[in-house]
Chains A and B, each alone.
Chain A
Amino acid sequence: MKKLIHPYQCLAKAMTVLPLAAGAADVTVELEIPAMQTAEYHRPYIAIWIEDARRQPLAQLALWLEQEKWHRDLRSWWRRGGRKLALPIDGVSGATRKPGSYTIQRAAALPPGDYTLNVEAVREVGGREHLRIPFHWSGQRLQDSAQGESELGQITFTLEPGELP
């Protein structure tokens, strides 16, 4: 049986779809990996991702990893979807980085709503740090930052309206 759709339903559908069409964002994350004064130094494993209000991962922005054996040490990332990912991910996965400043730019499909940017770092015979920046995306440019205390330095996060990836 063919289902009849009331014209108002059509309108309502169109209204929910309209903002979705604008739901793309250019994401820029600037992060600092601090230099450590320690004799035994290993580069940190780092995961950067965006999760939705239910803490489901929506976009993986950067995964700087080495041995798979230690991926689980990025505890939050591992719990929130990391363990289910097929790796490597083109353009996202990469080798671990030495201390310094880095800029990551990605296009992400991001309908308006509430999200959190996650940056998690863990270092062998070092520590672990997880920074979270909650944000509301309405299609307008926004910028926020967070300051790490041990394994991460300054994190700056910028969202701008963009093209769907």
Chain B
Amino acid sequence: MKLSRTTPALLVLLLISPLTSAHKRWFMPTDFVLSEAETVTVDFTASNNIFFVDKGMPLAGVSVHSPAGTALPLLQPQEGARRSSFDIEVSEAGTHRVSFGGEPMYFVSYQMPGENEPRHDRGNLAGLKAAIPPEATEIAFAEAHSLIETFVTLGSETAPAAPADSAGLRLVLRDTHPNALYTDEPARFAFTLDGEPLPGLAVSVQPEGSRYRDTQELREYVTDAAGAVEISWPVVGRYLLEAGLEQELGEGEIRKRYYSYFLTLEVLAP
């Protein structure tokens, strides 16, 4: 299904994360901004506890691009139980992009005769299809796209190298730079879906330290007609930005498509 701004009725936008049981996933670099060339260690984990690592994420699918667009190697890679991590040599001036995308994840639900609850499974599409018993009915697939990013800058911030394509849900680096965030200045971030501005997208930010307080302190926004949100930062520290949407695709093989986007940011004192 091709989507554009002129077909908003085809979009069903949920206000919060569509994958209701999915964990938040994030990168956490040791530094967001450097004044001298340095090794930066990046943790990669799935955790709802911001920012304490919980479940290690696979490193296949992680890419790091220098400001000029060179793919940098992941040094000392380690896939641990609670976190995965790798080093990057940040020696080129400007903004580096760390991202994880890759193939979509598929979910299936189907009903088996004589069972009260439908069964659920997830994996790649071919594998899921092969595993469905022949007597199953009410088979429905869903497709989930994820993009997880963070940015690391040496010296002055620059526009990071553009990704290979504009497919899916993406942050547009046009207004506020993600490595120049301060509590006395609101940030403006714009989002696109397959390259088109995306109004009505639910975006939230959450400051670190959720373990030590009684509330999530989630700040929620919805993108305007230009697909942008203006975010103010109540406290200094690191934040997780999360955006997500869900599309109803009708009666085809794949009934729903989910997009989720996670961005780790650092906000400094004025």
The answer for the CA separation of A40 and B179 in the assembled complex, in Å, is 29
Judge whether B214 and A129 touch: CB under 8 Å. yes
- Determine, out of A2-10, A89-97, A103-111, A120-128, the stretch whose residues face the partner at the interface: A120-128
- Chain B 1-42: CB-based contact to A (< 8 A → 1; otherwise 0): 000000000000011111011001000000000000000000
SS class, residues of chain B in contact with chain A: loop
The answer to whether A127 touches B216, judged by C-beta atoms less than 8 angstroms apart, is yes
Given contacts A126-B216, A127-B215, contact A38 B16 (CB under 8 A): yes
Query: Is B216 touching A125 in the complex (CB atoms < 8 A)?
Result: yes
Closest to B48 in A: A125
23 contacts between A and B (CB under 8 A): A38-B16, A39-B14, A39-B15, A39-B16, A39-B17, A39-B18, A40-B16, A40-B17, A40-B20, A40-B21, A41-B20, A124-B48, A125-B24, A125-B48, A125-B216, A127-B214, A127-B215, A127-B216, A128-B214, A128-B215, A129-B214, A150-B214, A150-B215
List the B residue with the shortest CB-CB distance to A128. Answer: B214
CA–CA, A39 to B48, complex, Å? 15
Contacts of A39 in B (CB 8 A): 14-18, 20
- Inside 8 A of A40's CB, which chain B residues have their CB? 16-17, 20-21
B216: which A residues are within 8 A, CB to CB?
Answer: 125-127
Considering only CB atoms, which chain B residue lies closest to A122 in the complex? B214
CA distance A129 to B18 in the complex (A): 26
A127 to chain B, nearest CB (A): 5
Binding site for B on A (CB under 8 A): 38-41, 124-129, 150
A36 CA / B17 CA spacing, docked (Å): 15
Please name the residue on chain B nearest to A39 by beta carbon.
B16
A157–B170 CA distance with the chains assembled, in angstroms: 52
Contacts of B24 in A (CB 8 A): 125
Q: In the complex, what residue of chain A is closest to B19 when comparing beta carbons?
A: A40
Please give me the residue from chain B that is nearest to A38 by CB atom. Answer: B16
| Shortest beta-carbon contacts, A-B, top 10 | A39-B16, A128-B214, A127-B215, A40-B20, A125-B48, A127-B214, A40-B17, A39-B14, A39-B20, A124-B48
Interface of chain B residues 197 through 234 with chain A (CB within 8 A) = 214-216
19 further A-B pairs in the complex, CB-CB below 8 A; given A39-B14, A39-B15, A150-B214: A38-B16, A39-B17, A39-B18, A39-B20, A40-B16, A40-B17, A40-B20, A41-B20, A124-B48, A125-B48, A125-B216, A126-B216, A127-B214, A127-B215, A127-B216, A128-B214, A128-B215, A129-B214, A150-B215
Measured CB to CB, the nearest residue on chain A to B215 is A127
Q: How far is the CA of A129 from the CA of B214 in the complex (A)?
A: 7
**Which residues of B have CB within 8 Å of A126?**
216
Across-interface contacts of A124 in B (CB, < 8 A): 48
Question: A125 — nearest CB in chain B belongs to which residue?
Answer: B48
Residues of chain A within 8 A (CB-CB) of B214 are 127-129, 150
B11 CB → nearest A CB, Å:
16
Distance between Cα atoms of A2 and B215 in the complex (Å): 62
In the complex, how many angstroms separate the beta carbon of A153 from the nearest chain B beta carbon?
16
**Chain A residue at minimal CB-CB distance from B21:** A40
* Minimum CB–CB distance for B114 against chain A, Å: 25
In the bound complex, CA of A5 to CA of B242 (Å): 74
Q: How far is the CB of B23 from chain A (nearest CB, A)?
A: 9
CA distance A38 to B15 in the complex (A): 8
> Inside 8 A of B15's CB, which chain A residues have their CB?
39
A33 to B143, alpha carbons, bound, how many Å? 33
